[in-house]
A and B are shown apart, each in its own frame.
Chain A
Amino acid sequence: MKFNDQVRFVRQNMKKNKTRLFMTVLATAMGCAFLIVLASVGFGLQKSIVDKVVGDRLVTAIDVYGIASEDGVDRQIDEKGIAYLRSVDRVKAVTYRNNVRQTIRSTVDGAAVMPGKVINVDFEAETAAGFGLSAGRLPQADDEVVIGYYSRIPAEGFKPGDEPPSAGEWLGKTMSMEASQFETDGTERKKSFSVKIVGIAAKPSREWQIDNSVYIGNAAMGNIESFTGTQWGEQRIAPDKENPEGYEPPGLQDPRQYSEIQVIADGARHVKAIAEQIREQGYFVHSVADELDQINLVFLIMKIGLVFVGTIAVLIASIGIYNTMTMAVTERAQDIGIMKAIGAHPSAIRRIFLLESALIGLLGAIIGTAVAYVVSMAVNAGLPLIIEGFMDEKVPQDFRFSFIPGYLAALSSLISLAVALLSGSRPARRATRIDVLRALRRDL
């Protein structure tokens, strides 16, 4: 018997009692929707909390804050430290972010740019680490730079909630950066450097974060340092009456110290081993993967529990499917008997009834999944308003109470389908055992 004919039989059978079919599908859909919505709370909370923990950071990144030394004084990482970190097995890149230690005045097309940080990064390492760009590319030439997503904010600022002008329009433009240095006699020297904007950094994940930095490579940093004659372009403070000693920043020959160092592993599963190895060498490290492991474990247990509770709802719905299929077999006993009498194979009869219960499960799963998505969206939209309205508490930005990943919908549909097949299996088996003679005598 062909599959198409089995489907035709099932459709004919289903049309016979539409109300009963509707109620059974409804019960299955409710069970499936309940399962998805319940589990989606676990997924939603996990996503919100993990997103908060991870923030903009990579899960493959290990933050290195400093190194313990033998004299008991903790130090920042120097070039030797950077070289060591790069030599560790499975390390893909070591990045750092060193601020230029003076306010650089920049202009684009003659207009002043709102002053922000100028940050020296190693673009070669950033390429390997995956520097987040919203437009353009990473610099390849010495005079190329990346600017922050909000670099075009007007000098007068902008209202909270308003979207500032897109920095993307500055792609390809030349930016003039003016550095200054004070001589020992207090006179100020200035020098302008022209750089080309080739990339726009990714939009910060938090609404309150304003990135209007300029990211420059080592060559551009070298140009500024050659002019200032100091590390990281730091300005000298000339001695005066109030400060007779003045301040002489570290020179270019002095040992360098690097900031915001991140070791990027070549896979999330290597993060732990690398962190351990570096830690043993006295480095102070922190990896988000450490926290994520524990958080994910807690949420995994929670999600399993929620799916289990939700599955009970589907199992309750299965009673309806069992009842419907039993009734269907009883009502069609004579038809089944006739089919058997003329040569229907028991397996063909079993398949027809299993197909019918599978179809009920599938319909329930499809409707239930659609309902679950609607409920999930409603919860995410409505619950923060309710909490704010009645409890006077503000829900964090981007917090999601419910999140339905594709595989949760697929898993729930699979559970509904499996439960439907399970509840239909006994009635289907019963259908194959119908006694032909009793059926022909209409004795059933």
Chain B
Amino acid sequence: MIEMIQVSHRFVIGKKGRERVVPVLHDIDLHVEKGEIVAIVGRSGSGKSTLLNLMSGYIHPTSGTIRVAGQAVTGLSEGDWADFRLAHLGFMFQSFQLIPSMTAFENAELPLVLKGIDVAERKKRVMALLHQVGVAEYAGHYPGELSGGQQQRVSVARALMLNPPIVLADEPTGSLDSDNERQLLALIRELNRELGITFVLITHDEQVAATAHRTIALKDGYLLNAPRKGEAHSYEIQ
């Protein structure tokens, strides 16, 4: 489902004329199978968020090839990436990234709006998903009126709105208490089991990592291991 071949990435920082190159990822080879839940773990600064951002198209690799859902995405224009994201990817963020001036309904509806779906169809789909994630009664509430757990559920509804085959989640439980974390992970497992959605989770939480079929560890921009689906977890954060 996601394939990274010899992907490297480096940032150029500093003012013009005094730039400094900071390598972040080195020769990453990674394969995520369809229907897998993959956790990417590593310490802060290990490059795990950069890895996810490369899969999301928010940044582009310095070298290497990335294929997502069977399509080579390296070299896509910004507009093509936007269409690709809408068609194939769902996103969950640590801080939920809901638009504060929009209600839970409007936030969840956003991908459908961007896709140009009819109002009646939108209403049906949004309410069904909000119901599924358990926040239908808060549809008219603004994010500021919701708890962290409720906001993340709205964010999950938004991520799943267009039935994407892949959901990329950056520290999805990072802002949740243990109860909400447990519920969210249960929801992720359920969605994976029932809908076959592939999840890539960035986390440093062992409980989240334990939810995954496979855990990939990163250290200083290098991939320590990338066991396939069904193999035992074999990572150690040093």
Find B59's partner among A340, A345, A437 (CB 8 Å cutoff).
A437
Find A343's partner among B53, B97, B114 (CB 8 Å cutoff).
B114
A50 CB within 8 Å of chain B = no
Q: Is the CB of B116 within 8 A of A340?
A: no
Question: Beyond A5-B113, A345-B79, A347-B79, is A335–B59 a contact (Cβ under 8 Å)?
Answer: no
Q: Is the CB of B85 within 8 A of A342?
A: yes
The interface residues of chain A lying within 8 Å CB-to-CB of B89 are 343
Question: Beyond A12-B101, A16-B101, A440-B93, is A340–B113 a contact (Cβ under 8 Å)?
Answer: no
Considering only residues 112-130 of chain B, those with a C-beta below 8 Å from chain A are 113-116
A53 CB within 8 Å of chain B = no
**Chain A CB within 10 Å, residue with most, of B82, B95, B99, B158:** B82
Interface size on B, residues (CB 8 A): 29
The interface residues of chain A lying within 8 Å CB-to-CB of B99 are 335, 338-339
CB distance from B211 to the nearest CB of A (A): 23
A340, B97: Cα distance in complex, Å: 12
B83 CB within 8 Å of chain A = yes
CB distance from B11 to the nearest CB of A (A): 11
Q: Is the CB of B82 within 8 A of A340?
A: yes
The interface residues of chain B lying within 8 Å CB-to-CB of A2 are 113, 116
Q: Is the CB of B97 within 8 A of A1?
A: no
A342, B89: Cα distance in complex, Å: 8
A348, B115: Cα distance in complex, Å: 11
Q: Is the CB of A343 within 8 A of B59?
A: no
Considering only residues 149-167 of chain B, those with a C-beta below 8 Å from chain A are 158-159
- The contact string, 1 if C-beta is below 8 Å from chain B, for chain A 231-244, is 00000000000000
Please name the residue on chain B nearest to A338 by beta carbon: B97
- The contact string, 1 if C-beta is below 8 Å from chain A, for chain B 69-111, is 0000000001100111111010101010111011000000011
A1, B87: Cα distance in complex, Å: 14
A5, B111: Cα distance in complex, Å: 12
The interface residues of chain B lying within 8 Å CB-to-CB of A335 are 99, 101
CB distance from B112 to the nearest CB of A (A): 9
Please name the residue on chain B nearest to A440 by beta carbon: B97
Q: Is the CB of B114 within 8 A of A1?
A: yes
How many inter-chain contacts with C-beta < 8 Å in the A-B complex? 62
Question: Beyond A343-B86, A437-B59, is A348–B93 a contact (Cβ under 8 Å)?
Answer: no
Q: Is the CB of B97 within 8 A of A345?
A: no
The interface residues of chain B lying within 8 Å CB-to-CB of A383 are none
Q: Is the CB of A343 within 8 A of B85?
A: yes
Question: Beyond A5-B113, A335-B101, A440-B93, is A343–B82 a contact (Cβ under 8 Å)?
Answer: yes
Please name the residue on chain A nearest to B100 by beta carbon: A335
Q: Is the CB of B79 within 8 A of A339?
A: no
The interface residues of chain A lying within 8 Å CB-to-CB of B98 are 338
Q: Is the CB of B91 within 8 A of A341?
A: yes
A436 CB within 8 Å of chain B = yes
A425, B221: Cα distance in complex, Å: 41
The interface residues of chain A lying within 8 Å CB-to-CB of B159 are 342
Q: Is the CB of B116 within 8 A of A1?
A: yes
- State the main secondary structure of chain B at its contact with A: helix
Please name the residue on chain A nearest to B78 by beta carbon: A346
Q: Is the CB of A342 within 8 A of B158?
A: yes
- The contact string, 1 if C-beta is below 8 Å from chain B, for chain A 1-29, is 11001000000100010000000000000
A405, B179: Cα distance in complex, Å: 71
Find B83's partner among A342, A345, A437, A440 (CB 8 Å cutoff).
A345
Question: Beyond A342-B114, A346-B79, is A437–B101 a contact (Cβ under 8 Å)?
Answer: no
A2, B114: Cα distance in complex, Å: 8
The interface residues of chain B lying within 8 Å CB-to-CB of A347 are 79
CB distance from A298 to the nearest CB of B (A): 52
CB distance from B65 to the nearest CB of A (A): 22
Considering only residues 297-344 of chain A, those with a C-beta below 8 Å from chain B are 335, 338-344
CB distance from B88 to the nearest CB of A (A): 9
The interface residues of chain A lying within 8 Å CB-to-CB of B85 are 341-343
CB distance from A342 to the nearest CB of B (A): 6
Q: Is the CB of A344 within 8 A of B79?
A: no
The interface residues of chain B lying within 8 Å CB-to-CB of A342 are 85-86, 91, 110-111, 114, 158-159
Q: Is the CB of B101 within 8 A of A348?
A: no
Please name the residue on chain A nearest to B84 by beta carbon: A343
CB distance from A309 to the nearest CB of B (A): 41
A16, B95: Cα distance in complex, Å: 23
Find A341's partner among B59, B83, B97, B116 (CB 8 Å cutoff).
B97
CB distance from B137 to the nearest CB of A (A): 23
Question: Beyond A1-B116, A440-B97, is A343–B79 a contact (Cβ under 8 Å)?
Answer: no
* Further pairs besides A12-B102, A341-B93: 19, Cβ < 8 Å: A5-B116, A12-B101, A338-B97, A339-B99, A339-B110, A342-B91, A342-B110, A342-B111, A342-B159, A343-B86, A343-B114, A344-B114, A345-B82, A345-B83, A347-B79, A348-B114, A432-B78, A437-B58, A440-B93
24 CB-based A-B contacts, threshold 8 Å: A1-B115, A5-B113, A12-B102, A16-B101, A338-B98, A338-B99, A339-B99, A340-B82, A341-B56, A341-B58, A342-B158, A343-B86, A343-B87, A344-B114, A345-B79, A345-B114, A346-B78, A346-B79, A348-B114, A436-B58, A437-B58, A437-B59, A440-B95, A440-B97
List the 3 closest pairs (A to B, CB-CB), nearest first: A343-B86, A343-B85, A345-B82
